[in-house]
Each structure stands twice: as structure tokens, then as C-alpha cells.
Amino acid sequence: MSTNSGRYVIVFAVTILVASEIFASRSLVAAATTVTALAKETHFHGIAVDPSDSSRVYLATHNGLYAIAPDGSADKISTTTDDFMGFTPHPADPAILYASGHPAGGGNLGFIASTDGGKSWAKLADGVGGPVDFHQMDVSAADPNVIYGVSGGLQRSGDGGRTWSIVGPAPEGLIDLAASGKDANTLYAATQGGLLKSTDGGASWTIAHVIKRPATMVEVTGQGDVYAFIFGTGLVRADDGEANWRLVSNDFGGAYVLHLAAGPKENGKLCAVTVNPETHGQTVVMSDDSGATWVSLGGN
């Protein structure tokens, strides 16, 4: 790794550490609020487009689940203020959402699910060595019964999250995890050392992108696109299963993308959570032209 690449790793590691300290405290946020207000009160851990309504965007936070709109308004969905550290929707059933993290009273949630669009939640399993706290997790669109999560190693469920087993160690410096939509045994990992890929369910990993700088997120869409953000390069895209990476955008004002979600491909909708590496402020941005231009919904 070059000196510059090493510097990126160090800077990013410090950024994540400081950001986690800044947002460690928990505060109650109003049920009806704005993205700008939320960015000052809580931490954003995940974002997803409602498969049944692309105008509805889920924002998983340190204080519960919200629905945000293009005008920047935010309405609380969940009846609890649990910390959703891990969050992902079911790839086929829009009523089902999955999460993990911490209850408002402390401890770990284990692997939990909602069958009413995020209003109420119930634990499906503790996971191996649990209750787990999956910070990285994803469901395979190729087989929705296959779910991956990271806690004490890389864990895999083959029955919709009811039972879990350890696959092996998670990649070093893991930041984000995404399951392929074509093959339930194919995974992508965004790490501090770059973007990785596994074709054997996480047992082994190979380099997925030639640039070995920190990859801050990776996301596989239902339309077969893989998106990743690489520090110093920008948001890149490839076809799932291929290595034909193309630059989508590097115009985020010096911020990096931490979470990304996509709506139906035909409407070109992308939503992302970006982080300013200097102030650690978070912003939600949206694009209606497949990432060519972005509009901020507020933040620090």
C-alpha cells in the first residue's frame, strides 16, 4: 500500500472513532421532525427505499426508525427508540424489515424483524454468542432465507434469521457488507484496506477493486448494480458479479458516502448518507438521475 493509501486508512479510522464518540449519547427525538434536526440529535446507521413506494425512504437511527421525504421532513415509524445499528429490508416482501443493535435500556437486541413496515419489532434469534449486535448485515436477494451478519465473526443464517452459524472471521477493517442479488454465496465487503469479494459465503476473500483505499460502503441493488464509495475516488458502480467499475460521482463536497440505497432503476433514484470527515456531520442526499447530481435534505 502506498503512503497516501496508508494516510487514507489512518484518517478514516480516526474519523469513525471520533464520530462514534460524538454520537454515543442517546436523546429523545420528536416523532415529527426534519432530517436537519435529526442530524443534530442522532446518528444515521442505515437508509433504504421502500420497495412498495419509492417516495418513502427509511432512515435507521440511534433513536429508532424514521420515514423521510424529499422536502426534508421526517416522521418516526417505530414505537421504540431502539438503536438500529444494523438495518436492511427484506428484498421481496416490503412489509418485512430486519435490524439489530441496542435497546433503549442498554444491552443488545439480537436479530429482530418487523412485519408491519417498522412499527413494531420482535426478536427472531440471539445469534451465535448473542444476543448479537450486528453492525453489518444483509439479506441475499438471490435467496431471502440467506442472511449475513457480523458479530464475533461472520455469521450466516439459511432459514430467514431463526438459526445462525459462524462462517469464519470477518474481513479485517470491515466497514460494510452486501450480499449479491445473483448468488447467495457471493458477498462484497467494504473495508479500510479496500473493496473485497467472496464467492464462497465469506470463507475466503479476494480484491474486488484495484484501488486499495478505504471503501466506506457497498450496496447491491435489486436491479443488479453494485455501488461502493472509495476514499479519494468517489462513488463507483459495477454490474453484480462483474468488475466493470465506472465512476458515478465524486461531487460530495469533500464528504464520503457511508450508506446508500436505490429505488427502481427506471426512475434513477438514489439516496445516501454522507459524512464530513472534518466536522463528522451527517447529511442525507438524494439523486433522481442515477447519481449524476445530488440534492441535500439537510444536516451538519
DSSP codes, 22-69: HT-S-----SEEEHHHHHHHS-EEEEEE-TT-TT-EEEEETTEEEEE-
Whether residue 16 is predicted with pLDDT greater than 60 in this model: the reply is: no
Model confidence pLDDT, tens digit, residues 219-234: 998 788 999 999 999 9
64 close to 49: Cβ distance less than 8 angstroms: no
68 Cβ contact partners less than 8 Å away, ≥ 6 residues apart = 35, 57, 58, 59, 74, 75, 284, 297
Over residues 16-38, mean pLDDT:
59
DSSP codes, 111-147: EEEESSTTSS-EEEE--TTSS---SSEEE-SS-TT-E
Over residues 237-260, mean pLDDT:
91
Over residues 43-48, mean pLDDT:
93
Q: Locate the domains of the chain by residue range.
A: 3-292
pLDDT confidence of residue 242:
85
In whole angstroms, how large is the CA radius of gyration of the chain? 17
**Rounded to whole angstroms, how far apart are CA atoms 186 and 189?**
10
Q: Which residue has the higher pLDDT, 269 or 164?
A: 164
Identify the band that residue 266 occupies on the pLDDT scale cut at 50, 70 and 90: low
H or E element at residue 148: strand 147-150
| End-to-end Cα spacing for the chain | 33
Which cell goes with 278?
A: 472534518
Identify the band that residue 130 occupies on the pLDDT scale cut at 50, 70 and 90: confident
Whether residue 200 is predicted with pLDDT greater than 90 in this model: the reply is: yes
Whether residue 6 is predicted with pLDDT greater than 90 in this model: the reply is: no
| β-pair partners for 122 | 113
pLDDT confidence of residue 186:
95
How do beta strands 111-114 and 246-249 pair? unpaired
Q: Which CATH number fits domain 3-292: 3.40.50.2300, 1.10.40.60, 2.130.10.10, 3.40.190.80?
A: 2.130.10.10
Question: Largest Cα–Cα distance of the chain, in whole Å?
Answer: 49
Whether residue 124 is predicted with pLDDT greater than 80 in this model: the reply is: yes
Mean pLDDT of the chain: 87
82 Cβ contact partners less than 8 Å away, ≥ 6 residues apart = 64, 99, 101, 102, 103, 104, 109, 121
Whether residue 250 is predicted with pLDDT greater than 60 in this model: the reply is: yes
Whether residue 13 is predicted with pLDDT greater than 70 in this model: the reply is: no
pLDDT confidence of residue 298:
60
Q: What percent of the chain has pLDDT over 70?
A: 88
Q: Is the pTM of this model over 0.85?
A: yes
